[in-house]
Structures are given as structure tokens and as C-alpha cells.
Structure 1
Amino acid sequence: MTAPLTVQRHRRIIDVHLLLIRDNRVLLSLRQGGYASGQWQVPSGHLEADEPTDHGTVREGWEEIGVRVDPDHLELAHVIDHRAPGEEPRFGIFYRAHSWEGEPYNAEPDKCGGLSWFPLSDIPDPTVPYHAAALQHIAAGRISSKYGWEPMR
């Protein structure tokens, strides 16, 4: 008797993003050094082991921009299935905070060149491409999208 084949399940890195929107303007941070240096992005990071996505988003908000967010004050805004050339596919989750404590500031000056508020309808160039795509979908009211995938034949 032959043993059944075991299939290795695919695993992906999960990126979590904190949307702060005030007066129809979204807070973006300017990446400095490393990946996408010189490009704007939504404050974000990677999910850690044994961490729910809303808690990871809250943690990243504190680490990057010094704001406290109650996970109960987050709303799922968008999910994006994305991949960059030469990189493994990733899954991005964008949560919008309905309220937060503290005024955002650059809590990681070694990784961030500054913070600024931009109209949601006028995202600056250059912005990390999948962030720009997700923000366009969010502005249009779409909850999910894909970025960087070849069309299916």
C-alpha cells in the first residue's frame, strides 16, 4: 500500500496597513533606506507569528507613527493580493482607524523621511505601487483587488 501524497500548503507574508483619514486626506510616510526608499506609503509592516491582523496593524501604528488605536475602532477597508517582479506573492490588509489617540509623528526617523497628509483622490508620485493601487480602490469603494499578477489565460 502506498502512502497518500502530502501537499505542502503555500504560505504568504501578510502586510498590515493602518489608514488614518482626516478631512478626506490620508496620512502617508516617506520610506527612507532599504526597500522602496524615496516612495510614499501607508504606515505598514509585516504580521508577526501568532498575531491577529488587527493587532498587528495597531502595533505597526504605534511603532511607526506613535498613535494608539483600539482594535475595536478598526474597520477593514481593503485587501490586496499583490506581487512584485522577482518577489514572492504577498497579501496586504488595509484597516481604517475610526479614531486614535495621539497626533501622528515620525517614530522611526531612521526608516522614515517624514509624514504628510494627502487627498485620497490625489496620491503623490512616487508611492509604493501596490499602496497606490490599493488607495485608488479604497477611494472608489472597492474592498479587494489584485496587483502585479499576469492576466489568466
Structure 2
Amino acid sequence: MSKKRFQMPVAVHLLLTREGKILLLRRFNTGYEDGNYSVVAGHSDGNEDVKSAMIREAREEAGIEITPNNIQFASVMHRKLDDERIDFFFAADSWEGEIANMEPEKCDDLSWFEIDNLPYNIIPYIKQAIENYINGVQFDIYGW
């Protein structure tokens, strides 16, 4: 009798920065953290590496193209809230195209914020990940 192995979702998050600012989106009508700011993010669809998943999510959510050479690993977070997840954070400061809200049914604001003066209504683990990025912390455990 074989026992099913534990599996957890893999999420990817993009820290888009420009001139000391970071791009944040406010979640809307999703059922998760609505009204709070996050970054461009999503999940691996399976059969794709995490960098490819991040590039796909950047296109789907912000309408931009990022090449694999322009996206850099920032950190990984093992996170536990209602469930357990692995979050990969990537950073980019160059891309092709104009940033646009490609999912207005899930996002009601897409704005640049000073990276050291984030809005009060940012999702806490996202705030932690941004602080980790600023401080060069590449691994974190959150919510345990």
C-alpha cells in the first residue's frame, strides 16, 4: 500500500523595480487578500521551470516581456498560513513593453511605490519578501 506524498503549491513573485520604486498591484475580487497590495505573481502550471512561470505571469498580469537574462533570483520563502507553500521571488529592472493592468477583474490598481515606503495595506509576507530583497536575504521561513 503506497502512501501519497505531501505536495505543495509553488508560487512565483516578481519584484519590478525602477529608480527606487517597486511596482505593486492591489488585489480585487479574487477572494484572497482583496484590497491589499501584492506584486505580479502566480503559480507554476506544471511542466515549466519557475523562471519561465515568472516570465509568463509578467506577460499575463502586466503585459510585459522579460527575457530570462533580465530576471534574477532574489529569494525563496517557505511559507505557512492556511496551507504550506514555496514562494520564489525574482527581480527585474528592465523589460519590453509598457506596464498595463491585463487583469482588471482581479486587480483594481497598478502603481509604483517607494521601495522603502510601502503602503499600509500590503500583504505581510510580500512586505517581508521586499525587506528581504532590500537586505540581501535569500531564504526565509514565514508563518511557522
What band does the TM-score fall into relative to the shorter chain?
Answer: over 0.9
Amino acid at match of 2:19: D
Q: Does 1:123 align with 2:134?
A: no
Amino acid at match of 2:27: R
Question: Could you tell me whether the CA contact under 8 Å between 1:75 and 1:98 is conserved in 2?
Answer: no
Q: Give distance in 2, aligned partners of 1:117 and 1:98.
A: 13
How many angstroms does 1:99 deviate by?
1.8
| Equivalent position to 2:72, from 53, 75, 79 | 75
Question: Could you tell me whether the CA contact under 8 Å between 1:29 and 1:41 is conserved in 2?
Answer: yes
- RMSD over aligned Cα, in angstroms? 1.3
Specify the alignment match of 1:24 in structure 2.
Answer: 20
Specify the alignment match of 2:89 in structure 1.
Answer: 94
Partner SS, residue 131 of structure 1: helix
Unaligned runs of 5+ in 2: none
Q: Give distance in 2, aligned partners of 1:56 and 1:73.
A: 14
Sequence identity percentage: 35
Specify the alignment match of 2:10 in structure 1.
Answer: 14
Question: Could you tell me whether the CA contact under 8 Å between 1:29 and 1:114 is conserved in 2?
Answer: yes
TM-score of the superposed pair, with normalisation by structure 1? 0.88
Q: Give distance in 2, aligned partners of 1:30 and 1:114.
A: 5
Which structure has the larger Rg over C-alpha atoms? 1
| Equivalent position to 1:112, from 107, 112, 126 | 107
How many residue pairs match? The answer is 143
How many angstroms does 1:6 deviate by?
5.1
